[in-house]
Chain A
Amino acid sequence: MQISLKNVSFTYQADGPFARQALSGVSLEVAAGQCQGLAGPSGSGKTTLLQLVNGLLKPCSGRVQVGELEPAALNPRQLAQLRRRVGLVFQQPERQFVERLVGDEIAFGLRYATQVPPKEYAPQVGEALQAVGLQASYANREISHLSGGEKRRVALAGILVMRPEVLLLDEPTAGLDYPAIRAVIATLQFLKRQGTTLLLASHDFPLLFELCDQLAVLKEGQLVYHSPLAELGQQVSFLQEMGLELPVPTLLAASLAQRGFTPGAHVFTDPQALARAIREQLLT
């Protein structure tokens, strides 16, 4: 399913004296099966944008479409159905756990949002666990005994069990340590291979560089940048002027490019490739 935003604006509490404009005139197209990165500092509107795509919020102006559907035009029942196909993983999703056991928590959505019969829960929970890199035996473990990274993956599994065609993620790696981050990346790569459309909002650039095909940047509610990731190298100084804190290897690649060192577009987003290129071409 593809995602489309056309000239979308959104203001919180628009009808009161405390209105706050979160998005203005944002247009974004995400083709089916693509991984779209969404970067920007906190408060730039990333969370708002994600919630517009799955209908938790309705745009004040402009149009949001997911596949053939327009979330703003759906009634609550249709919205609930849409959200089984368009999953949204909030920040720190482990704060929403309801059940005590891993298997019950993952099956929560199946139990209350689908017509899947209870005897089907176990195999589907098993599949979801596998997708996040956890063994099927995790289903019987107590959530309170899990590490932060495991909890995050269980929360992810709880969304994946619904088999969404589109997955929206809000800061999926925030608060996780490196091994847990690698596990989440592995899951997202698996989903990419399966053809799931991904919209990834994060300020973790290494994550975005590793996974995304396209990168969009929000600043104070406006879309200031939208290009394929491969073209990032040409825009580094522009992005810096926008106030974005790019990772050091990217900045190094840009400084080197200014001095005529241009081994290829990949060095801006892949620190290993950068190191290799420098070793082979500069240090010999």
Chain B
Amino acid sequence: MRMPGARIVLECLKRQGVDLIFGLPGGAVLPIYDALYDFKGLRHILVRQEAAAGHAAEGYARTSGRVGVCLVTSGPAATNLVTALQDAMMDSIPIVAFTGQVPTHLIGNDAFQEADNVGITRPCTKHNFLVKDGNDLGPIIREAFHIASTGRPGPVHVDLPKDILVKEWDLIWPDQVHMRSYNPNYEGHPGQIKRAAKLLARAKQPVLYVGGGVISADASAELRELAELGQFPVTQTLMGLGSFPMEHPLSLDMLGMHGSYYANMAVHHSDVLVAVGARFDDRVTGRVDAFAPNAEIVHIDIDPSSISKNIKVGVPIVGDCRRVLVKLVEALREELRDESPPTVREARRQWAALIAQWKRDFPFQYEWSDDVVKPQYVVQEISNATGGEAFIVTGVGQHQMWAAQYYKFKHPRMWCTSGGLGTMGYGLPTAMGVQAANPGKLVINIDGDGSFQMNSQELATCFTEGLPVKTVIINNSGHGMVRQWQRIIYKERYCAIDLPGIPDWVRLAEAYGCVGLRVTKPSELVPAIEKMISTPAPVVLDVCVDKDECVFPMVPAGGANTDMILALPTRDVRDKAAKSQTGF
């Protein structure tokens, strides 16, 4: 069947099961938009800036478990999209991004709106394609979706020259994808799984450290089974939040730089540490030579290059988290058939008591105030109001950490945050994608005033496309996380951090057709959150909070996890932190 390339692209998307794309038109992709004019069964959401299309696709992918799709034009559109691609790359989010390109005969000619798209996106995608022959359109799109969604998921970019979109080609749609150079390994090695089970059965101070891989592999149920079978405490990374219910007695909440005291202490003192779908990121490990010094480490990951990259691992298991956990539970059940020795049982009892003690003594905490709203309180009240059943998205900064610390996550795939890249402005566009993937559900974007400002234009998209995203701005009139570091580590030499009350968020929201609310006192918060949730339109709730509040606990970068600061430090500690950070 012959048809124009543009039509082939849409037909392929339909065959791939895509029902929604985020995009922004322009010269090079006009043929696709022309084909879209009367194409049935594909919803297009028009964003206001291209990076937002990428982030929206990420939000769609993370919460639906399907591949997110975005479509933008050549040149500046493609370069705008790069941030979202790298974001998806670092957080292993499956998206397929289409960009336009100048006609093939003009490539390399410095044509209008030309950029070396595949050259630019090469290091920030899992793979990319430049379509040079229209007959390859079908096979390439098929492979793009296959690569994005299998193995360790990630972004795939397809560059489409305009002449390929205009000319007629055969629609070729392969039944199967076979690639001799790409065959991810899903089944973990049985011998290694047995070794891991033996270690866990005999462990005196075990901890499970779980990350985003558990969510990508839909392995939460299996994880819970393993944890409950062996009564293993579970700590989650920023990307892994939701993979294990926070209110579960075995939950240690988040670990790492702003993780809980008890999680970091438990990991530090563990004798068997099982990492599942996590990558020993520097924000988790702190100083690597001081990370879990006495632990035998088991690492389950689909990506072999994650294993022994930062931390030497004793028992590597390459495979899909869910399949490996199923086998591990079986193997552990086998190991636990014989009752464990009394020494182990006694050690486990003491370990549980020690963790309970840490949890009691050093919970996440902040000082209450009757006059000024504490940011942590905002997250707590959102958590209370939603019962952990809302989709939560964040920007990047202090508010992101407070959201991670104080929201009681219950389910996987209900939390989107920019973990690896730390992309400010991620919140609103991603929330938009989440809302589009989950119509009728409550989506709350917990954002900062600095972060929100980087993509606030998307309020227009929310309004026009009927996406009632609720944004709560934790407004501390500045770049709070930078301020915190300047305060603690750079001796209060505050520089370039003030965002003094501009714009007026309520009026900005109204200018975009959304509802704006403001809270300045703690007593106003709960009614405002209730009003926000019950409003059917997109809402911006501007909460003016204590700007001096810092995120604690905190492990200064370059410090060991045991060097954790629990409250605003004394001058001595500050000097020490400054030294470890800046070297003087």
Q: Do the two chains belong together in a single complex?
A: no
